[in-house]
Each structure stands twice: as structure tokens, then as C-alpha cells.
Copies of this chain bind each other. A is one copy, B any other.
Amino acid sequence: MLDWISRYRSDRMLKIWQDEEKYRIWRDIEVAVLEGWAKLGVIPQKIADEVRRVEIKPEEVKQEEFKTKHEVTAFVRVIEKKVSENARKFVHLGITSSDVMDTAFSIQILRSIDYIVDGIRLLENVISNLAEKYKHVVAVGRTHGVHAEPTTLGVRFLSHYAEFRRVRKFFLFARENLRFGKISGAVGIYNTVPPEVEAYALEKFGLKPEPVPTQVVPRDRYAYFIVACSLLSSAIERIALNIRISQMTEIGEMMEPFEEEQMGSSIMPHKKNPVLSENLTGIARTIKSAVVPALENISLLMERDISHSSAERIIFPQVCILSDFALSRLKLLLEGLKVDEDKIKKNLEISMGMILSSRALFEMVVAGYDREKAYKTIQKASFSVVDGKFPDFKTALISMLEKEDKKIAQIVSEKLELVKPQYIDYIFDRASSMPFEIKVMKRDDVFDPEGKTIADRLRKIGVNVKDIRVAKSYLISSYKDVDSDLIDFFVNPIVEDYTVELKE
């Protein structure tokens, strides 16, 4: 057992990716295929029922695989041994290993995405609460690490909230592009299994048939998932970096939770380190690196080579576990995060008013001062404060201005106060009501007269249209996230389907 698996633990992800679960999914796919054949009248339905009752133990497959050197043939053999003579000959009828493996792989990834999307949503809530809580806590904005202008701590959190929401949006896009399976035989052209069987079987898992498969589902689809996780990990890395630097002794604006019996160092009892954020940084680094093999996996030879397989066996479970763990660890961290508002206030004062230099520039220009001259005067004032010639920026600037233009000096003097930034509410309103879209369409098996009419007309005037389906979209800017209650208002599930997308 590798240490990291128990250390960066996600039981629910581990479960998805363990052999027990995988073989259960494989069996369900075999069953669905048999049902498909039965629907076509090729085999009796009871064959499927029999196979459905088979339980497979990973050891059994391992044992057979030792002989066949091929996991699916081993798996099929195990089933064959457990069913009646009549059933055994039809198991795996007309399909190839990848039909089972890739369809199952898609299912495993889609489930993983659901967990991750849930995790992101929970995290968004936590961050959004932090943003609300510190909405108007003025803090110094730092660019290049150097004091810039005032902002608020809430806005800083809000920018993380918006980033995680974008990541969730990306996952939903990836999800849409991953809802594909493939049951089309050895080279993907239905030589030994007809499209009807595939359609029937995939539909049971909410999957669509790969439009042009080779032996496999094309690997760019799976790469989307790894890319999504790498974007997630970059978002995690950014907030972790902010916490780490905010906890530096000199800055001291935030602190990670520190428990009663916790120890920061084996030799320095006084230490409280941002170890959770540092830890998340390294995990993010590791997740991100999976993007390299995921991209290399795409370019397979002709109808497929299997070079992607070993890489996928390693990186997919790993990325899933790490991503899920990281989300929950980050949530925990943020829930226990301590903010030192006093220190934030003190830090604001450190640069002795210079953080109002852009305000000064603006006011001087608007009041009629030449821009470049204003810039230089302010710069001179600032540097003279740093050199200790003036106690603070305002004093320095006004004293310089008074020599030049008393009126402007007075105007600037009045404006040069640290006031609450005025557009905070505006930004929060915008960010907390970012739209989502509910799109409602007739179910595939429900007739769509409007679509048909349009299609007919278009064909008449020579546009080579095969089919048109009409849907209605509701772009909703709301202060609450989409949920099933809301969807109920828009969708009639008996005849309608729907999709939800995040928008900005």
C-alpha cells in the first residue's frame, strides 16, 4: 500500500476505481448488450437475466488473466464459468473488449465528475460565504507583492469564487463531451454487432454512441477530464498561494486552522505553518502533470494501439482521488480559516498613504494638472516618504503641491482619504448573480411539430437538412444556484428533457 493513498484519501473515488466496482460495471454492460440482442430476437431475454445475477471477484479475474494475459477475456471466462451452458455461449456476443472497457471508463469518469462538481459547488459556497463576511473589510491590494491600492478582503475571496465557478463550468463542458460509449465491435464499424444493440445498451447508462469510433472511444474526450482537473488544481494552487503568503509572519492577515494538540515543527514549538495550503500546492502540481501523458495518449495508431492503457490505469484513479481529496481538504481549511482584521488594518497603514497615489493622480488630472507632471510629483512625494523626509504620503504631496498650485493642493487634500471602495456592492451583485441557462427540449421520442415544419420548409428551398428539433432556453440571473425546485418550474419531465449550463 502506498502511503499517499491513505494520506490523501477519498474513499468514494477509490471505490469507483477499484476492481470490484469496475467488474460490476463491466457485467452490467455485458448484460445490457445481451438485452439488446434479445430485443432484436437473436437470443432469449433470460440469458441477460442470468448474467445479471453473476457476482465477480477480482481474484477470479486475476487468476484467469494470469493465463490469458488479457483482462477482458479473463473476465468473460469468469462469467462463462458461472452461467448455464446455454447462456455461456452468448456472453460477449459480437462485441470486443474495448466496447466494454471504454464504455465502463466513460461511466467511471462521469461518476467521478459528479463527485468533483459537487465538491466544487460546496467549495464555492464556503468561499462565497467568506466573501460576504469580509465584503467590506478594506485590505491593501497588492500587485507584484507590493502595496497598490485599497481593495477588500471580500473581493479577493470573490475572485476565487468566480474562478472555481469557471472550473465547474469547464467540468460541465467536459462532462457533455464525455457522455459517449461505444459498442460497435472490433474496428468500430458494427461488423459483428448492429447499431441497435449499441443504442439500446448505451441508453441504459445515459451515454450516446461515439459517432465515428475506431476500436476505441477517441482519447481526446478523456483528455478533457484531465485538463479539467488541471484547471481545478491551478485554481486550488492560487488560493493556496494566497493563504500561504497571507500567513507569513510579517503579513499575518490569515491563518490556517491549528488544532489543540497540533505541532508545527519537531524542534520549534512556536511554529504555526500553513501546511494545508503547502500540501495542496504539491498535490495540485502532481495533478497538473497528468496533462502531459493525457495529451500523448490521443495519438493512437490507425484503429488503435493500446499504449494509452497503462498510463490511464495509473493517472485517472490518481487524479480523481487527489482532486476529490484536495477539494475536501481545501473546504476544511477555509471553514477553519482565521482572519486577523487588526493586522489587515495595520498593514493598510504601512505604506503611509501611498496606496492612494492612483487616486491622487486621477484627481490632479481631472482638476487640470498635466498627467506626466502629476505622475512625477506623486512619484517624488512617495519616494520622499520612503526616505523618511515626510511622515506620510498626503503630507508630502500636499506640501509639494502647495508650492505649485494652492487650489489643486486643496482639492486633492479633500479627496485623499481612505474611503470604502464604492463599487464593492456592484461587483458582488454581478458576481453573485452570474447566469445559468436551462434549456428545455422535447424528449427524443416525442414528436416536435415545429422542428418538423421548419425542416420541411428548408428542404423545399434546397437546404439539405436531416432533422431539426426546437428547444427553449431560459437564461437566468439568480442569487441562488440552480436546483431541482427551480427546474421543476420549467420542465415537464413526462415529455421534456433539459440541460443546465453555467454562463457568465
Are B245 and A189 in contact, CB atoms less than 8 angstroms apart?
Answer: no
Are B304 and A144 in contact, CB atoms less than 8 angstroms apart?
Answer: yes
Q: Closest residue to A88 on the B side, CB-wise? A: B371
Partner of A68, one of B2, B261, B305, B382: B261
Does A263 count as interface, using CB distance less than 8 angstroms? yes
Q: How far apart sit A70 and B504, CA to CA, in the bound complex (Å)?
A: 32
Are B357 and A268 in contact, CB atoms less than 8 angstroms apart?
Answer: yes
Q: How far apart sit A299 and B3, CA to CA, in the bound complex (Å)?
A: 25
Q: Closest residue to A160 on the B side, CB-wise? A: B212
Taking each of A19, A375, A435, which has the highest tally of chain B beta carbons within 10 Å of its own beta carbon?
A375
Does A300 count as interface, using CB distance less than 8 angstroms? yes
Are A248 and B249 in contact, CB atoms less than 8 angstroms apart?
Answer: no
Does A93 count as interface, using CB distance less than 8 angstroms? yes
Q: How far is the CB of A38 from chain B (nearest CB, A)?
A: 13
Are B189 and A234 in contact, CB atoms less than 8 angstroms apart?
Answer: no
Q: Closest residue to A300 on the B side, CB-wise? A: B238
Are B365 and A146 in contact, CB atoms less than 8 angstroms apart?
Answer: no
Q: How far apart sit A362 and B245, CA to CA, in the bound complex (Å)?
A: 29
Are B379 and A269 in contact, CB atoms less than 8 angstroms apart?
Answer: yes
Q: How far is the CB of A306 from chain B (nearest CB, A)?
A: 4
* 20 interchain pairs, CB-CB under 8 A: A3-B18, A8-B310, A70-B265, A89-B369, A143-B271, A143-B302, A143-B303, A144-B274, A146-B273, A155-B189, A166-B220, A195-B426, A212-B430, A231-B295, A245-B245, A269-B360, A273-B306, A282-B310, A288-B292, A289-B289
Does A421 count as interface, using CB distance less than 8 angstroms? yes
Does A116 count as interface, using CB distance less than 8 angstroms? no
Does A126 count as interface, using CB distance less than 8 angstroms? no
List A residues 114-169 near B (Cβ within 8 Å). Answer: 140-152, 155-156, 158-159, 161-163, 166-167, 169
List A residues 287-340 near B (Cβ within 8 Å). Answer: 288-293, 295-315, 317-318, 322
Q: How far apart sit A298 and B291, CA to CA, in the bound complex (Å)?
A: 15
Taking each of A70, A162, A451, which has the highest tally of chain B beta carbons within 10 Å of its own beta carbon?
A70
**A189 proximity list for chain B (CB < 8 A):** 141, 151-152, 155, 421, 423-424, 427
Q: How far apart sit A5 and B314, CA to CA, in the bound complex (Å)?
A: 9
Are B91 and A371 in contact, CB atoms less than 8 angstroms apart?
Answer: yes
**A315 proximity list for chain B (CB < 8 A):** 286, 289
Q: Closest residue to A458 on the B side, CB-wise? A: B489
Partner of A463, one of B143, B302, B306, B480: B480
Are B3 and A151 in contact, CB atoms less than 8 angstroms apart?
Answer: no
* CB 8 Å contact bits of A166-210 with B (1 = contact, 0 = none): 110110010001001000011111111011000000000000100
Q: How far apart sit A495 and B25, CA to CA, in the bound complex (Å)?
A: 50
Task: Give 9 new A-B contacts, CB below 8 A, not counting A4-B310, A144-B264, A155-B188.
Answer: A97-B265, A144-B275, A145-B302, A186-B265, A191-B423, A251-B251, A269-B379, A270-B382, A429-B466
Q: How far is the CB of A277 from chain B (nearest CB, A)?
A: 9
